[in-house]
Structure 1
Amino acid sequence: MEENKKEGFLDVFIQFIKFGLVGVSNTIVSGVIYFLLNTVILPGVWIVASVVSWVISVLWAYFMQNIFVFKEDKNKEHRVWWQTLIKTYMTYAFTGLILNNILLFLWVNVIDIAQYSGAIISFFARIHIGFLGDAATFSSNMGWFINMIISIPLNFFINKFWAYRQKGGNK
């Protein structure tokens, strides 16, 4: 009789931390490829650099998540690699390309986060730290940050329970 192991909170939390570490490596891969393409190989053709870096970074994420995060359970049905790869691209297309841009539009153009952050912007301007930029730049940067708080856990759960899910309890 085989033991049916249930994942506990700690198991899922450790898996989420591994997912985050893969995400950091994925960001580095994406940034290096984007920088090389946009500055060395195809200077100024940023749209090509953006698309190519996204395609390669999602492929990187797929391999790293298979190895370190969502390992196959040998007691369950084997995942079909190309289906998992397509689902991974669909997940990141949804959260990274569609959802993040819709939310960013809302944060900047509808809600206008800067209107609620005037004191923060003024404080940094007074101490001569201008990296926050003007109100519109601040709104878009804060929107990007809020999007990460939303999209990282969402990516984790979509990948865990859809893209990398294995069916069945036994082979």
Structure 2
Amino acid sequence: MSEKNKALINQIIRFGLVGISNTIVSYVIYAVAFALTDNYFLANVLSWLLSVLHAYIWQNVFVFKEDKNAQKRVWWKVLLKTYAAYAFTGLLLNNLLLWLWVDVIDISRFCTGIANGLTGIGIVLTDRELSGYLGPVLNMFVTIPVNFVMNKFWAYRQKE
């Protein structure tokens, strides 16, 4: 394996680690904000705003390190592009895919066996409810790679 491929795999792993920490940060902020305000919409918006800022900071330091031999990045442009990338993948694409899985493809048709198995262990969900929980998991297989590409080649890109 070439050094370039090793570096890319290492970068993808670091992106994943930042993503895991970002998911935890996002949920903690959401839970605290919801507990304080009893407003799930406000809690979700605040969680998204702060978790993208968290992602920007860690991606800048840990994932997409600035190349000292290339043109210097303008921090606020990178920040705005990071918000745009997360808005596209986390808001637009995520909701579009949920609609596709749940309403167009109707993955609930494939959930009966899983729902019955869960009922056996005391978790009662309809096929439709289960499809609503599985949709975001399926989305990750699309949104995470798209988000990585948008950040690597657009938000954090440096000109030679």
Same fold by TM-score greater than 0.5: yes
Equivalent residues in 2 for 1:67-82, closer than 5 Å: 67-82=61-76
Equivalent residues in 2 for 1:79-90, closer than 5 Å: 79-90=73-84
Q: Which residue, 110, 114, 121 being the options, matches 1:116?
A: 110
CA deviations 1:39-94 (Å, max 9, x no partner) are 1x21x211111101100000010000000000011110001100000000000000
Q: Which residue, 130, 143, 166 being the options, matches 2:123?
A: 130
Larger helix share, 1 or 2 = 2
Instruction: Please give the root-mean-square deviation of Cα atoms over the aligned residues, in Å.
Output: 1.4
| Dislocated runs of 4+, deviation >3 Å | none
Q: Unaligned stretches of 5+ in structure 1?
A: 1-5
Task: Indicate whether 1:161 and 2:157 are aligned.
Answer: no
Q: Which residue, 5, 17, 23 being the options, matches 1:9?
A: 5
Q: Which residue identity is paired with 2:53?
A: L
Sequence identity of aligned pairs in percent? 50
Q: Number of matched residues?
A: 159
Larger Rg: 1
Structure 1 residue 7: Cα displacement: 6.3
Q: Unaligned stretches of 5+ in structure 2?
A: none
Structure 1 residue 128: Cα displacement: 2.5
Q: Give the TM-score normalised by the residue count of structure 2.
A: 0.94
CA deviations 1:143-163 (Å, max 9, x no partner) are 111101111111111100000
Q: Give the TM-score normalised by the residue count of structure 1.
A: 0.88
The answer for the alignment partner of 1:18 in structure 2 is 14
